[in-house]
Chains A and B, each alone.
Chain A
Amino acid sequence: MDKILRIDMGAEGGPKMQVESLGEYAGLGGRAMTSSVVAKEVPPFCHPLGGENKLVIAPGLLSGTGAAMSGRLSVGCKSPLTGGIKEANSGGQPAQVLARLGYGAIILEGKPQGDDLYKVFINKDGVKIEADNSLKMMTNYDLVSKMKGEYGDKIACISIGPAGEMKMQSASIACTDPEQRPSRHAGRGGTGAVMGAKGVKVIVLDDTGCKARPPKDLQKFRAANKIFVEGLSRHPVTGQALPAYGTNVLTNILNEAGAYPTCNFKVGQFAGAGKISGETIAELETKRGAGPTHACHRGCVIRCSGIYNDKDGNFLSKQPEYETVWAHGGHCGIDDPDAIAMLDFLDDTYGLDTIETGVAIGVAMQAGVVSYGDAQAAINLVKEIGKGTPLGRILGSGAAVTGKVFGVEKVPVVKGQAMPAYDPRAVQGIGVTYATSPMGADHTAGYSIATNILKSGGFVDPLKPEGQVALSRNLQVATAAIDSTGMCLFIAFAILDQPDTFQSLLDLLNSFYGLELTADSVSDLGKKVLRIERDFNSRAGFTKEDDRLPRFFYTDPVLPHNVTFMVKDEELDSLFDW
């Protein structure tokens, strides 16, 4: 991982590539890498779809090593959805494969001169880039199937579907899982539109003949990994609940907490929650010959993913994640798990962020475009997005645009990005994260649910404003650091509760790189990443007024708790004063 592949898609005579040393980006990985490159090289006022924007794809510091859980891939750019800096990350195979091939980052830059669509193939012998217009408007699943035919079944793909080619603001970038399903996505912020604007359909990776990256101290590294894996197995969340039920175990808990946004954030509980809960879906998956336990990348020991078959036992989609089940489910008043799995599949194959897409449909339902609870209508709307009809293009532009077009007052977005599956009035800590994260409304940026609801890492009362800023700050700092290691964020449940597991993560980094990092240095890394991102947004014109929730969260109390968002503006503004 000692080189950067830079491809100028706008060069005279066609794409021109260059492999260079890491230079000033040495020692960075994942989110620290993508945000550093974007902040340094992308003019903050550029148009996100223009030649000045860059798409940066980076494995984490531990990706491609023998460390468990190290398969997260970061994708960064100026976001077409928020207008600010974006880092979206994904599971799947590409991070491991890209890191073994030796690349610390791929940077796509420039503006293509024609309409050609390109594929990039990278293996141990080098990089090939060629135009392939037969791929135009191909869905992700069809595309990957074609790539397997051309390059064999040892590949990992990073790709866009029709939504990315149409440069929709909710377009995602797909990553393949170990069985070559394009089912893991860098979902948020429209990164797929930027890849589409660069004219790149797919990056095919083959690490045949490459070895795992060698640690500086192999013995210590192996010992640390053993303790790390043991800690993840021992913790009840990472060792039992996530493999048994997946992330959708949260449906029932958020619903019981009165924090499950229902029918576009109207109330905090959904009568149909039980029908689409993790418990119900895990049982259904097992009954239909698939199951709720699956690793999205090699080296994952938590295995929170799963496979969802239709009633005839044929593959329908991967197990939809909690936020997807919510966005296409409770948010839209839909309680049919088969319809939600179909929507998940359509989002994946068209290359759409499931959160942004589901929230946009719920906003359209509020406007009366179709009715709440009408699952078939929701499926038809997503198909309209895939076809790029005028209505589909409105919805594919995300919740904020959809709300404006249809005259909806209550649109749950921050910095133009849709809120996920947790009501910020009933979980005040997540409201702080939504408001202040440089990414826009993003639960993963500082997952206060862990402490507000799940009692992981202590407990802060979700219904009171006290303590929420400190909670969100600490989580945002820790998350920015974890996102730079390539580690899956779900390790946080174990490292928050078990000091020896946290120490083993430090030992993995230290033995691999010959460093002497402490908890403080990890925290410093997280702060550095956040500072870089905040600074980019500030240069792009963002002010403290952008760090607020939509007005209705301050004025309209939500049942059953009858609460509004109560954290004061001055407190939000103090979040980054550490």
Chain B
Amino acid sequence: MKVTVKLFASLRKDRFAVDDFDYQEGVTVGHILASLNISEEEAAIIFINARHGGPDSPLKEGDLLAIFPPVGGG
């Protein structure tokens, strides 16, 4: 199934900004983090279709996964 993955800020270094991937049914955010060599600590903020998720969150066909390192401002 197809999932779009977006990376931001320092996570883009040596990786990518946005890409589509084919995953097997039942894939979780944690699996995708491991495949991209991103630690759970680095992936501080995770959105699936604009809603907060975590490493255990499951994904389904067509989902948009956005991953941010710890960031702040204001």
Q: Quick check: is A37 within 8 A (CB to CB) of the other chain?
A: no
Q: 1/0 per residue B6-45: CB within 8 Å of A?
A: 1011101000010000000000000000000000000011
Q: Which one of B6, B10, B50 lies within 8 Å of A241 (CB-CB)?
A: B10
Q: Which of A241, A321, A463, A560 has the most CB of B within 10 A?
A: A241
A-side contacts of B6, CB under 8 Å: 256
The number of residues on chain B lying at the interface, defined by a beta carbon within 8 Å of a beta carbon of chain A, is 21
Q: Which of A538-577 contact B (CB under 8 A)?
A: 560-561
A454 touches B52 (CB 8 A): no
Distance in Å from the Cβ of B15 to the closest Cβ of chain A?
13
Please report the number of residue pairs spanning A and B whose Cβ atoms sit closer than 8 angstroms.
Answer: 94
Min C-beta distance of B49 to chain A, whole Å: 8
Stretch at the interface among A115-123, A243-251, A361-369: A243-251
Q: How far is the CB of A242 from chain B (nearest CB, A)?
A: 7
Q: How far apart are the CA atoms of A322 and B52 in the complex, in Å?
A: 21
Complex contacts, A268 vs chain B, CB 8 Å:
50
User: Which one of A44-52, A184-192, A442-450 is at the B interface?
Assistant: A442-450
Q: Which residues of A contact B8 (CB under 8 A)?
A: 249, 252-253, 256, 279
1/0 per residue A253-279: CB within 8 Å of B? 100111000000000110000100011
Is A384 in contact with chain B by the CB < 8 A criterion?
no
Q: Is A522 an interface residue (CB 8 A)?
A: no
The residues of B that contact A322 with a CB separation of less than 8 Å are 73-74
Tell me the smallest distance from the CB of B67 to a CB of chain A, in Å.
9
Distance in Å: Cβ of A338 to nearest Cβ of chain B: 21
By the criterion CB–CB under 8 Å, are B50 and A247 in contact? no
A328 to B47, CA, bound (A): 26
* Residue from A249, A257, A461 within 8 A of B73 (CB atoms): A249
Instruction: Give CA–CA (A252, B44) in the complex, Å.
Output: 15
List of A residues within 8 angstroms of B73 by Cβ: 242, 246-250, 278, 304, 321-322, 490
Tell whether, in the assembled complex, residue A247 and residue B68 are in contact, meaning their CB atoms are under 8 Å apart: no
Given contacts A279-B9, A560-B50, are A241 and B74 in contact (CB under 8 A)?
no
Expressed in whole angstroms, the Cα–Cα distance for A561 and B52 within the complex equals 12
Asked if A450 and B66 make an inter-chain contact with CB atoms under 8 angstroms apart, the answer reads no
Nearest A residue to B44 via CB reads A455
Contacts beyond the supplied A236-B69, A237-B72: 5 A-B pairs with Cβ under 8 Å:
A249-B73, A252-B68, A256-B6, A321-B73, A489-B74
CB < 8 Å neighbour of B52 from A236, A246, A461: A461
9 cross-chain CB contacts under 8 A: A237-B71, A241-B69, A244-B10, A253-B8, A256-B50, A269-B50, A450-B74, A455-B52, A493-B72
| A242 with B72: CB separation less than 8 A | yes
CA distance A456 to B70 in the complex (A): 9
Contact B10 A450 (CB under 8 A): no
A-facing residues in B47-64 (Cβ within 8 Å): 47, 49-52
User: Inside 8 A of B66's CB, which chain A residues have their CB?
Assistant: 256
CB distance from B46 to the nearest CB of A (A): 9
Residue of A nearest to B18 (CB): A274
Nearest opposing residue in chain A for B8, CB measure: A252
In the complex, which of the residues B10, B69, B72 contacts A456, with contact meaning CB atoms closer than 8 Å? Answer: B72
A523 within 8 A of B: no
A453 touches B45 (CB 8 A): yes
User: Does A459 sit within 8 A of B, measured CB to CB?
Assistant: yes
User: How many angstroms from the CA of A449 to the CA of B10 in the assembled complex?
Assistant: 20
Closest A residue, CB atoms, query B47: A256
Least CB separation from A241: chain B residue: B71
CB of A240 within 8 Å of the partner chain: yes
B68: which A residues are within 8 A, CB to CB? 252-253, 256
Bound CA span A256–B66, Å: 7
Chain B: CB-nearest residue to A239? B70
Partner of B12 from A236, A256, A279, A454 at Cβ < 8 Å: A279
- Which single member of B17, B69, B74 contacts A449 (CB below 8 Å)? B74
Q: Are A241 and B47 in contact (CB under 8 A)?
A: no
Complex interface: chain B residues within 8 A of A246 (CB):
73
Nearest chain-A residue to B12 (Cβ)? A279
CA distance A489 to B44 in the complex (A): 21
